[in-house]
Every structure is written in structure tokens, then in C-alpha cells.
């Protein structure tokens, strides 16, 4: 039976064999096919997939629906990172592109991400239209794989080489000072592009951990958070490597470990790269961040003579704002970023190649680069990100509770901001706590930016207690 299909910030995501089924994704393909035909859009679409359970099967199910409407489907020979789908939507000048992924969600999830012309993440107008059509239809059209191949409307191709070529338009061909780097693939799809990128740039040593395909991700959350990078951290320290890093399961979020074994947060990565592009490379331009990303970027932009723009959570808001203000870089605290003239979406392979260029040009250890950037910004705050889960059946009560109540912190809240699904509580103009209601998982994300002397654990406990009362 067809179930309700709801698109959130990162597309449609659901529990495998419950919300995420081959039946349901076929309805998504049927709805998108009808939009393509109604709008007389280009009848051509790239359709990519990652290493998650049921991803290739879901991609094929959707492909055969598209093909039944004579929409030509370009499918990679193998699984690829999500940014690859964005690239090929742009490269083929297609009006739409599709990626089968649930990004960093647990292994029992999967999903469908839609891209629009130019490689942008689909906006709400597009996904609302898809949802509306799904609600109005009772069946979908389909043909066999053999017929689709015979008609030449299902074609398979190398999606990786040209995608990596595009990354190297923004990179030196070889490092001047070769690096020793360890990479935790977290059993995701990142190795497909990162292995080739490391070889091209002339890495002295490139150690890959957990390169094997494992749809269970060894029982871990496939997200490059500190607790998930302990293995690569130990390797960096034991073998005296220059850095370690990890990316999420679909290859668009980046986490870094410096040469001392310290975690470099996404906020710090974004700040360092912005500083590098302006101060070292001589580019000019503003920066865009989302609602829950550190104020460190604001301080750097001010110091460099530019402006930091704030938008709602969702990379589609970042890239569209970048276009409006001609920003040089945009990103978010969850570990994604892009720069002017690159893809209209986040990309971990691109981010780490840019990071390697920064290390090479500044010729400093990662810890020293972070120290230099924070000193320039006169910034000492600590930023923390975590989450609190809640039962799915309580979701309907959460928004009204958040609107009507505030957490009890060790000091008073001087101002509260509500932007979309974000609730930010200010203690002064530099310190804040935020609760974000995810629309793809049953979690409240917790973000804190506080002075080093503040007890972060206490604030985190206050938020957890607040959520516990709510549910």
C-alpha cells in the first residue's frame, strides 16, 4: 500500500521496508515524470545511488518508471557520492536529477533526493508539487529493464572521472609539500571519488580505513562526528600523520582530525577555508552560513572587510543566497560547504581537496592554521553539536511546546529567535543555545556556542531535561 511521502530539508527519507519501499519510490518517479511532461521539461535525467541497502534496486525501480514515459535515464555503473548527482544534473543541463540516499541517517533508513536545473537541491515548491501529485495518483507506469535498454533510454556511464576533473579546476594539480593523510570511509561511498582525488594530487601516503561496503555501517551512525572518528584519530597519533578525516555515508559532509588528534569542527573547517580563500588566495566576497553555524564566520568576515549572511537550515538556502550576494563560500555546521562557481550543493571530496590546498599553501600544521584563524577573529568560544531523540508519536506536540516554553538555563535568556524549525536562545550577543526540530528524523538537534569557562555539559543537560518534560 502507498504510504504518505513527505519531503524534508534533505529530501524524502524513511525507514526501509516501512516508508522507504520500491513501491513508494516508484510513485515519486511517476510524480516527477508527470511534472517533466506537463512542463515540457528536458526528458533526460541523471539517477544516482549510494551504498545503502536497497539503493541500487530503488534507483532501477525509479529508472523504469521514467523510461516508461520516454525520459532518458543516465545511471552510473556503480554507486557514487551525492554531489555527483548534483554535478551531472548541471553537466547534462537536465531540469531534474535524482540521488538515492539517506545521507548520514542510521542504516535502517534510505531516501530520495531531488535536484533541479543547475544542480540545486529542490526547493519546497517543487517537493510540495511532487507530494501533491503522489496524493492524487493510484498507480504508476513501468517498463522492463530490457525494453528500456533496447530503446536507448536507460544508459550506464562513468559518472566519477569527469566529476573529479571538475573538482580539480579549483585545485593545484600536485601538492608542493606531500602529505600523510588517514581517511575513515565509515563504510560509505566517499572512497569512490576520494581515492582518485588523493592519487591525482600526489599524496605521500593515503591510508584508508573501513573502505569495505557495509550497508549496516558496522552498527555506527555514518556521520563524521568526533565519536565516530576515534579509529582514525588513533591512527593519526600512532603513525604521526599530518591529518585524518572522515565523510558521511553519501560523501557530502566532512570531519577533520588534526595532527595532535584534536577534532576540527565543521565550523572551524569553514572558517579556515574562508580565511584562506580571502587572505591567502586573494579572492573577494561575502560568506553565507545557516542559522546554527558559529559566529566565528561573522568575526572573520568583519575582519576581512566583508559580510556574513545568515539563512535557514538547508543547503538550498545557502546556495541561493550565495548567488544573490555573490559570496565566495557558503556552508553549515553539519560539515558541508561549497564555493563560488562550483556545485550548488555541499561536497566532502571537494572540501577536503580545498583543505589540502590550504595546508600546502600555508605550509602549517592543521592545529596552527586553526589557531591563526581564531586569533585573527579574536574568537575563543566553544561550539558543540549533539541531539536528543523523541518518540515519533509525540511529533505533533513538539512545535506548540517549543513556542510556549523556554528551557531553564544557569543564566537568563535575553532574547529568543524562531526561524522555521529553529529555536535560538541568546545569553548575550556572542553566546547562544539552539534547538532544531529535524524534519527527516525524530530528533531535536542541539547547538551551543559558549565561552570556554562555561560548563557546556550543564547547558546540554538543561536542554535534555527540557525535551524530557515535553515528551
Reported as type and span, the H/E element at residue 115 is strand 109-116
- Please give the average per-residue pLDDT across 427-444, as a whole number: 86
- Which of 377, 399, 420 finishes a domain? 377
Q: What is the CA radius of gyration of the chain?
A: 22
Q: What burial class does residue 452 get, using C-beta atoms within 10 Å of its C-beta: 0-12 exposed, 13-18 middle, 19+ buried?
A: exposed
User: Do 346 and 421 fall within a single domain?
Assistant: no
User: Do 402 and 364 fall within a single domain?
Assistant: no
Residue 2 lies in a domain: no
User: Do 27 and 126 fall within a single domain?
Assistant: yes
Residue in the block written with cell 557520492 = 81
Rounded Cα gap, residues 218 and 399, in angstroms: 34
Residue 154 pairs in a beta bridge with 73
Residue 77 lies in a domain: yes
pLDDT digit string, tens, across residues 347-371 = 999 999 999 999 999 999 999 999 9
3-state secondary structure 193-246: HHHHHHHHHCCCEEEEECCCCCCCHHHCCCCCCHHHCHHHHHHHHHHCCCEEEE
pLDDT digit string, tens, across residues 217-244 = 999 999 999 999 999 999 999 999 999 9
Contact by Cβ (8 Å): 67, 154:
yes
> CATH no. for residue 388?
3.30.310.50
- Which of 339, 356, 377 finishes a domain? 377
User: Do 183 and 332 fall within a single domain?
Assistant: yes
Question: What was the pLDDT predicted at 2?
Answer: 63
Question: What was the pLDDT predicted at 395?
Answer: 67
- Backbone φ and ψ for 28, nearest 5 degrees, come out as -60, -45
Domain that holds residue 97: 7-158
Rounded Cα gap, residues 38 and 9, in angstroms: 25
- Please give the average per-residue pLDDT across 433-457, as a whole number: 86
C-alpha closest to that of 65 among 20, 23, 15, 8: 23
User: Do 273 and 235 fall within a single domain?
Assistant: yes
- Please give the average per-residue pLDDT across 71-77, as a whole number: 98
User: Do 183 and 329 fall within a single domain?
Assistant: yes
Residue 290 lies in a domain: yes
C-alpha closest to that of 189 among 161, 232, 160: 160
Q: How many Cα atoms are found within 13 Å in the side-chain-facing hemisphere of 392?
A: 5
> CATH no. for residue 210?
3.40.120.10
Whether the predicted model's global pTM rises above the 0.75 cut = yes
User: Do 44 and 121 fall within a single domain?
Assistant: yes
For helices 266-275 and 296-304, the axis angle rounded to 10 degrees is: 10
- Which of 358, 377, 396 finishes a domain? 377
> Where is mean pLDDT largest: 16-20, 183-187, 384-388?
183-187
- Please give the average per-residue pLDDT across 40-48, as a whole number: 98
DSSP secondary structure of 381-439: -EEEEEEEE--GGGHHHHHHHHHH-----SS---EEEEETTEEEEESSSS-EEEEEE-S
Question: What was the pLDDT predicted at 146?
Answer: 97
CB atoms inside a 10 Å sphere around CB 76: 21
Contact by Cβ (8 Å): 197, 84:
no
Mean of the per-residue pLDDT values of the chain: 94
Question: What was the pLDDT predicted at 463?
Answer: 86
Domain count for the chain: 3
Question: What was the pLDDT predicted at 45?
Answer: 98
Residue 311 lies in a domain: yes
User: Do 125 and 235 fall within a single domain?
Assistant: no
Rounded Cα gap, residues 361 and 367, in angstroms: 15
**In the predicted structure, residue 394 carries a pLDDT above the cut 70:** no
C-alpha closest to that of 159 among 62, 94, 88, 101: 88
Rounded Cα gap, residues 406 and 414, in angstroms: 12
C-alpha closest to that of 241 among 281, 280, 209: 209
Residue 1 lies in a domain: no
User: Do 218 and 321 fall within a single domain?
Assistant: yes
Reported as a pLDDT band with limits 50, 70 and 90, residue 444 is: confident
Residue 183 lies in a domain: yes
User: Do 46 and 75 fall within a single domain?
Assistant: yes
Rounded Cα gap, residues 433 and 134, in angstroms: 38
Residue 60 lies in a domain: yes
User: Do 393 and 350 fall within a single domain?
Assistant: no
User: Do 67 and 95 fall within a single domain?
Assistant: yes
C-alpha closest to that of 302 among 325, 275, 283, 340: 275
Amino acid at each position: 500500500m502507498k504510504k504518505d511521502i513527505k519531503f524534508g530539508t534533505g529530501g524524502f527519507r524513511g525507514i526501509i521496508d516501512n516508508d522507504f519501499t520500491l513501491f513508494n519510490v516508484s510513485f515519486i518517479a511517476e510524480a516527477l515524470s508527470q511534472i517533466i511532461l506537463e512542463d515540457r521539461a528536458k526528458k533526460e535525467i541523471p539517477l544516482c545511488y549510494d551504498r545503502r541497502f536497497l539503493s541500487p534496486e530503488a534507483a532501477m525501480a525509479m529508472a523504469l518508471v521514467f523510461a516508461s514515459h520516454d525520459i532518458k535515464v543516465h545511471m552510473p555503473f556503480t554507486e557514487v557520492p551525492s554531489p555527483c548527482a548534483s554535478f551531472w544534473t548541471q553537466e547534462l543541463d537536465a531540469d531534474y536529477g535524482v540521488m538515492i540516499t539517506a545521507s548520514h541517517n542510521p542504516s535502517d533508513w534510505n531516501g530520495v533526493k531531488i535536484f533541479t536545473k543547475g544542480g540545486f537541491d529542490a526547493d519546497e515548491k517543487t517537493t510540495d508539487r511532487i507530494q501533491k501529485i503522489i496524493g492524487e495518483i493510484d498507480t504508476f507506469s513501468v517498463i522492463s529493464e530490457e525494453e528500456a535498454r533496447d530503446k536507448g533510454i536507460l544508459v550506464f556511464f562513468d559518472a566519477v572521472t569527469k566529476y573529479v576533473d571538475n573538482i580539480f579546476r579549483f585545485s593545484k594539480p600536485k601538492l608542493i609539500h606531500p602529505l600523510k593523510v588517514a581517511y575513515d570511509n565509515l563504510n560509505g561511498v566517499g572512497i569512490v571519488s576520494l581515492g582518485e582525488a588523493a592519487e591525482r594530487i600526489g599524496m605521500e601516503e593515503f591510508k584508508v580505513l573501513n573502505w569495505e561496503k557495509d550497508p549496516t555501517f558496522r552498527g555506527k551512525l555514518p556521520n563524521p562526528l568526533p565519536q565516530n572518528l576515534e579509529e582514525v584519530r588513533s591512527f593519526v597519533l600512532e603513525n604521526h600523520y599530518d591529518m585524518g578525516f572522515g565523510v558521511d555515508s553519501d560523501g557530502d559532509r566532512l570531519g577533520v582530525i588534526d595532527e595532535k588528534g584534536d577534532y576540527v569542527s565543521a565550523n572551524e573547517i569553514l572558517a579556515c577555508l574562508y580565511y584562506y580563500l580571502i587572505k591567502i588566495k586573494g579572492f573577494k566576497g561575502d560568506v553565507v552560513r545557516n542559522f546554527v553555524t558559529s559566529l566565528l564566520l561573522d568575526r572573520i568576515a568583519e575582519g576581512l572587510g566583508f559580510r556574513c549572511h545568515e539563512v535557514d537550515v538547508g543547503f538550498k538556502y545557502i546556495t541561493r543566497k550565495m548567488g544573490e550576494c555573490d559570496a565566495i563560500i557558503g556552508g553549515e555546521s553539519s560539515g558541508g560547504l561549497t564555493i563560488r562557481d562550483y556545485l550548488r550543493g555541499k561536497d566532502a571530496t571537494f572540501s577536503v581537496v580545498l583543505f589540502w590546498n590550504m595546508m600546502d599553501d600555508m605550509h602549517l600544521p592543521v592545529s596552527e592554521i586553526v589557531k591563526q584563524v581564531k586569533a585573527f577573529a579574536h574568537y575563543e568560544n566553544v561550539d558543540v553539536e549533539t541531539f536528543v531523540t523523541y518518540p515519533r508519536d509525540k511529533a505533533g506536540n513538539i512545535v506548540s511546546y517549543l513556542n510556549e516554553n523556554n528551557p531553564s538555563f544557569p543564566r537568563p535568556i535575553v532574547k529568543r529567535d524562531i526561524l522555521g524549525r529553529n529555536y535560538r536562545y541568546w545569553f548575550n550577543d556572542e553566546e547562544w543555545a539552539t534547538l532544531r526540530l529535524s524534519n527527516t528524523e525524530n530528533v531535536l538537534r542541539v547547538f551551543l556556542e559558549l565561552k570556554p569557562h562555561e560548563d557546556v555539559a550543564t547547558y546540554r543537560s538543561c536542554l535534555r531535561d527540557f525535551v524530557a518534560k515535553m515528551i
